[in-house]
Chain A
Amino acid sequence: MIIEKLFNKWILFLLIIIPIFGLIFEEPYYITLTTKVIILAIAGIGLNLALGYCGLISFGHAAFFGTGGYVTGILSFHALNEELLFSWPIDIFGSSEMLIIWPVAILVCAFLSLIIGFLSLRTSGVYFIMITLAFAQMLYFFSISWPTYGGEDGLSIYVRNSFPMVNTMDPFTFYFICLVWLMITLFISFKLINSAFGMAFQAIKQNEERVKSVGIETYKVKLIVFVISGTMAGLAGSLYTDLNRFVSPSVLDWHTSGEIMIFVILGGMARLYGPIVGAAFFIILEQTLGTYTENWQFWLGLILILEILYARSGILGLFDKKKNNEK
């Protein structure tokens, strides 16, 4: 446990020190890379709440990640073209202000995860996995066949959305904004997990029947966790669009759902810092193996299979022998 905590501090330290080095040695690429890790980690932290702590195996978080991304893309697309987003019942304009885009993305994703959660949570087990997957695919096909926002080709937004007083086009500034969001989501997760509500949803993972028998409405608890989880993924999607200044249907693809799940699993489920470690490991793998071979995903697949068969509790679990033996 102590080693794990030390390791967590190191990870945070690295997330801060690498971009600073990038700034000093004028290597913006490393700043961007760290930003990517942070954004993906936010999505992972979201999924970790549902998957790791509450045991809801959602294979459709790309739906929220992608929707957050598209909301951002569409709003700034309309702001750029100075077109109305809706003309009915009132005129609504697009926006390129992050302070407007974030709340909209958060609200839309919360609403979406409420609907998807409401329907999917009626089922459990395998049905739940497949239904969340199917809903995400539905949005994926919708985004491909809807021509207004680029369809299959995706949507470019050219200029990163703006934040008052600062220049977001500067990689370090944008990195810092994302870092603040990471801290906020980490803090919310930490508070949630240690609250009474958190005890309830963690108990559901262990034994739902018993939680029901003490009078807790498990359906409601699961729905709330699912909504919070989906919303965090949506926020990450919004930041991701701003990072790339581009959004395409691939953010809604089921490979994205799988990858977010991989961040959680690689790092270690139900560990606060797990998704950060997982996302960092994933990006490092992509960067190092990717330079040697085009088929780096082959090796990713191999590593994953070996991990699932032999090292079930993730990278952070390696430091924690006691928990490791439980499985």
Chain B
Amino acid sequence: MTNILFIEQLLNGIQFGTMLFLMSAGLTLIFGVMGLINLAHGSFYMIGAFCAALVAGLTGSFWLALGASLCGAAIAGVLIEILIIRRLYRRDHLDQVLATFALILLLSEGVRWYFGAFPLYLSIPESLNGTIPIFEEIIYSKYRLFIILMGFLIAIGLYILITKTRLGIRIRAGQNDREMISALGVDISKLYTVVFALGASLAGLSGALIGAIQSVEVGMGEPILILAFVVIVIGGIGSIKGAFIGSILVGVTDTLGRVFLPDLLKIFIEPSYATSIGSSIGSMLIYILMALILIIKPSGLFGKS
């Protein structure tokens, strides 16, 4: 029994981790190439989810909704990059933090204005509803399995994009030496817009995918944004590999900690205390993990010091 529960929660952790990866990949890419801290990344997650809910409401198709989340977030990303973000690349981190924080206020309130304060719902398509046996006694939600597969496919896709394609070469060159590649004739501002839109669309997609499990509401991007920050601090800022490993680590630690820590503590202390202490510490576990990693390696697991 405990084993089944454990594997199920482990899968939940991995599922959460893959979604964190979609967020943190964009975040770390944008930082690596443009040197920009983008607090407003969570807003693209929200925008993606709202676009999906809107299109699903109009057409009834989940797949069109997913497409809409990608396109909607990408379009929002391009617009915001051209109007505001572009002016921040040369500024110091403080300006970037403040401007993107202000952008969160702007976008969250804007969405609240347009859609109202009530959460929207996005339903899972018929074909992904229900559960599926994985092996023997273990059955798992089809939709969550689908999310895990999507996450891994996108991770592989990103890996190929970065290592094998022309755009990937430019992105890596941009991470190493921005001035050099612009001197070599690469249109750097176009590259920046493309990278920003790529990050935004990944965030938008994960927003839509998660939106179908939870609800689609204003401010939904903020908790996951901060977790994505923890992920890229753990993984090393600018490293996609670090983001992937960090995401899975954070996703699994967070999920397992919340579920099993209260039970684990019951062995040592009174059950009534164990539940409250366990759930409190469980919610802090990833931050403790982050602190530990930083004590050992201040620039993260795969970061350049």
Interface residues of A (CB under 8 A from B): 51, 57, 59, 119, 122-123, 125-127, 129-131, 133-135, 137-138, 141-142, 144-148, 254, 258, 261-262, 265, 295, 297-298, 300-302, 304-305, 308-309, 312
**B265 smallest CB distance to A (angstroms):** 14
Partner of A309, one of B93, B99, B110, B230: B99
| Contact status of A308 and B98, CB under 8 A, knowing A142-B283, A145-B280, A302-B106 | yes
Q: Is B87 an interface residue (CB 8 A)?
A: yes
Are the C-beta atoms of A126 and B295 separated by less than 8 Å?
A: no
- Report B-chain residues with C-beta under 8 Å of the C-beta of A308: 91, 95, 98-99, 102
Against A, the Cβ 8 Å flags (1 = close, 0 = not) of B114-126 are: 0000000000000
Interface 9-mer from B166-174, B198-206, B286-294: B286-294
CA distance A57 to B112 in the complex (A): 30
- Report B-chain residues with C-beta under 8 Å of the C-beta of A298: 105-106, 109-110, 113
Are the C-beta atoms of A145 and B279 separated by less than 8 Å?
A: yes
Output the nearest chain A residue to B87 by Cβ-Cβ distance: A309
Q: List 24 A-B contacts (CB under 8 A).
A: A57-B97, A126-B93, A127-B237, A127-B298, A127-B299, A129-B97, A131-B233, A141-B284, A144-B283, A145-B276, A145-B279, A145-B282, A147-B276, A261-B101, A265-B94, A298-B113, A300-B102, A301-B105, A302-B106, A304-B98, A304-B101, A304-B102, A304-B105, A308-B102
- Report B-chain residues with C-beta under 8 Å of the C-beta of A126: 31, 37, 93, 237
Are the C-beta atoms of B229 and A130 separated by less than 8 Å?
A: yes
Output the nearest chain A residue to B112 by Cβ-Cβ distance: A295
Are the C-beta atoms of A130 and B109 separated by less than 8 Å?
A: no
Q: Is B84 an interface residue (CB 8 A)?
A: yes
Partner of B226, one of A137, A261, A312: A137
Partner of B295, one of A122, A137, A258: A122
**A33 smallest CB distance to B (angstroms):** 22
Are the C-beta atoms of B299 and A123 separated by less than 8 Å?
A: yes
Q: Is B104 an interface residue (CB 8 A)?
A: yes
Output the nearest chain A residue to B284 by Cβ-Cβ distance: A138
Are the C-beta atoms of B84 and A142 separated by less than 8 Å?
A: no
- Report A-chain residues with C-beta under 8 Å of the C-beta of B295: 119, 122
Q: Is B19 an interface residue (CB 8 A)?
A: no
CA distance A133 to B287 in the complex (A): 10
Instruction: Given contact pairs A59-B97, A123-B294, A146-B276, enumerate 17 new A-B contacts (beta carbons under 8 Å).
Output: A119-B295, A131-B294, A133-B226, A134-B229, A138-B288, A144-B283, A145-B276, A145-B280, A146-B280, A148-B276, A254-B226, A301-B102, A301-B107, A302-B102, A304-B98, A308-B102, A309-B99
Which residue, A57, A59, A119, A134, has most C-beta atoms of chain B within 10 A?
A134
- Report A-chain residues with C-beta under 8 Å of the C-beta of B31: 126
Are the C-beta atoms of B113 and A295 separated by less than 8 Å?
A: yes
| Contact status of A309 and B109, CB under 8 A, knowing A129-B97, A137-B287 | no
- Report A-chain residues with C-beta under 8 Å of the C-beta of B109: 295, 297-298, 301
- Report B-chain residues with C-beta under 8 Å of the C-beta of A145: 276, 279-280, 282-283
Output the nearest chain A residue to B91 by Cβ-Cβ distance: A308
Partner of A305, one of B103, B232, B237, B287: B103
Are the C-beta atoms of A129 and B93 separated by less than 8 Å?
A: yes
Q: Within B39-75, which residues are at the interface with A (CB < 8 Å)? A: none
Are the C-beta atoms of A300 and B105 separated by less than 8 Å?
A: yes
Partner of A134, one of B87, B103, B283, B290: B290
| Contact status of A301 and B103, CB under 8 A, knowing A125-B93, A129-B97, A145-B279 | yes
